[in-house]
Amino acid sequence: MEIAVFGAGSLGSLLGGLLAREHDVTLVGRDPHVRAIEERGLRISGAIDATVYPAARLDAPDAADLAIVCVKAFDTPAAAAELADCDLDACLSVQNGMGNETVLAERLDAPVLAGTCSYGALRPAPGEVRCTGVGEIVLGPRTGGASPLADRVGTAFDRAEVVTSVADNMPTRLWEKLAVNAGINATTALARIDNGSVLDGDAWSVAAAAARETAAVARREGIEISDAAAEGAVRRVAEATAENTSSMHQDVLADRRTEVDAINGFIAERASERGVDAPINRTLAWLVRAWESGQGVR
Ligand code: KPL
């Protein structure tokens, strides 16, 4: 399969690198990472050890069987505009935050699948990615149900030994992932702690409350997630990725804009539209946005 991975950050590089063990992969990213991959290939270290040689470029290729979008949520409109000129059979969003698939579907002729990822990744240097935890990709039609296309993509991922499940309930999976990100990302970024530390003391009070609020908003949207299930999902992921630095924590350490608008900001906004109280998500969004403004990255 010809696969273009749009967004060669830590997750895009890891996923693209793993898929390159079996498929014809092009990573679309920025220099100096792209130049390093062109010159020396992509080194994968940590839980998986491999050196792979995907193509790497700064802009979208003309065509691909599958585009995998891994850019930050705030870059989705720009990625969609660029991908609109690419001849694609399918697109898969593997991103944090809510609403990315809709933005892509509005711009692209190709069908858009939704995905979530629980692999952990860090990009320590140009041309390198470290797998900090083998997780799972879950993918399926963005509005739920089964589709032969999702099965084909799942089979292609399996062939590359990427742990993958094809799901017929992606809307529920996306809200569960949102609860996990709402609980872990801003809490770890503001307190500068690793994922496992959200299980302790006051950090857990904040993370669990953010997850419960997410479940309450999801239920108003017709997605049945109990408070206990949302809290349990945060706990499971925090345990499984205990030593990881969350993506928002990585952004804060690197003085980059975060995805808070598409995570806690999205929940706070939906909550107020639906008449649900979400003070913890509102506060987390406000604090992270204040940090972004102070750093001049907002
Ligand atoms: O998705 C993640 C992220 O860091 O953005 C989690 C699941 C919290 C893993 O670090």
For each of the chain's 298 residues, which pLDDT tens digit applies?
A: 999 999 999 999 999 999 999 999 999 999 999 999 999 999 999 999 999 999 999 999 999 999 999 999 999 999 999 999 999 999 999 999 999 999 999 999 999 999 999 898 999 999 999 998 899 999 999 999 999 999 999 999 999 999 999 999 999 999 999 999 999 999 999 999 999 999 999 999 999 999 999 999 999 999 999 999 999 999 999 998 998 999 999 999 999 999 999 999 999 999 999 999 999 999 999 999 999 999 999 8
CATH number of 171-295: 1.10.1040.10
- Ligand 1 center–CA 87 separation, angstroms: 31
Closest by Cα among 41, 66, 67 to 54:
41
Catalytic residue among 177, 212, 235, 282: 177
Order of strands across the sheet that contains 63-69 = 55-57, 24-28, 2-6, 63-69, 87-94, 112-117, 137-141, 164-166
Distance in angstroms (rounded) separating the CA atoms of residues 64 and 55: 13
Q: Which residues line ligand 1 (CB under 6 A)?
A: 96, 118, 120, 180-181, 184-185, 195, 237, 241, 244, 246-247
- Shared fold status for 2-168 and 171-295: no
Atom 1 (ligand 1): residue with closest C-alpha?
A: 181
Closest by Cα among 24, 60, 29, 53 to 39:
53
Residue 230 to residues 46, 164, 174, Cα–Cα distance (Å): 29, 22, 12
| Local structure of residue 246 (DSSP, 8 states) | P
Residue 137's pLDDT is 98
Instruction: Please classify residue 106 by burial: count the beta carbons closer than 10 Å to its beta carbon, then call 0-12 exposed, 13-18 middle and 19+ buried.
Output: exposed
Atom 10 (ligand 1): residue with closest C-alpha?
A: 246
Residue 262's pLDDT is 97
Residue 132 to residues 207, 213, 244, 256, Cα–Cα distance (Å): 22, 29, 7, 21
Residue 54's pLDDT is 98
**Taking the domains of the chain in order of start, what are their residue ranges?**
2-168, 171-295
Paired with 137 in beta bridges are: 117, 164
pTM of the model: 0.95
Q: What is the ipTM of this complex?
A: 0.97
Please say if 177 is a catalytic residue: yes
Residue 136 to residues 97, 127, 139, Cα–Cα distance (Å): 17, 23, 10
- Ligand 1 center–CA 100 separation, angstroms: 16
Measured from the CA of 237, which atom of ligand 1 is nearest?
A: 7
Measured from the CA of 185, which atom of ligand 1 is nearest?
A: 8
Q: Please, what is the angle between helix 201-220 and helix 170-191, to 10°?
A: 150
Helical H segments across the chain, by residue range: 10-19, 33-40, 76-83, 100-107, 148-159, 170-191, 201-220, 227-240, 247-253, 264-274, 279-295
Residue 212's pLDDT is 98
Residue 248's pLDDT is 97
Residue 207's pLDDT is 98
- Ligand 1 center–CA 185 separation, angstroms: 7
Best residue among 117, 195, 260 to mutate for probing ligand 1, ranked by most atoms within 8 Å of CB: 195
Torsional class of 183: left (φ above 0), alpha (ψ -120 to 50), beta (otherwise):
alpha
- Ligand 1 center–CA 234 separation, angstroms: 10
- Ligand 1 center–CA 278 separation, angstroms: 21
CATH class for the domain made up of 2-168: alpha beta
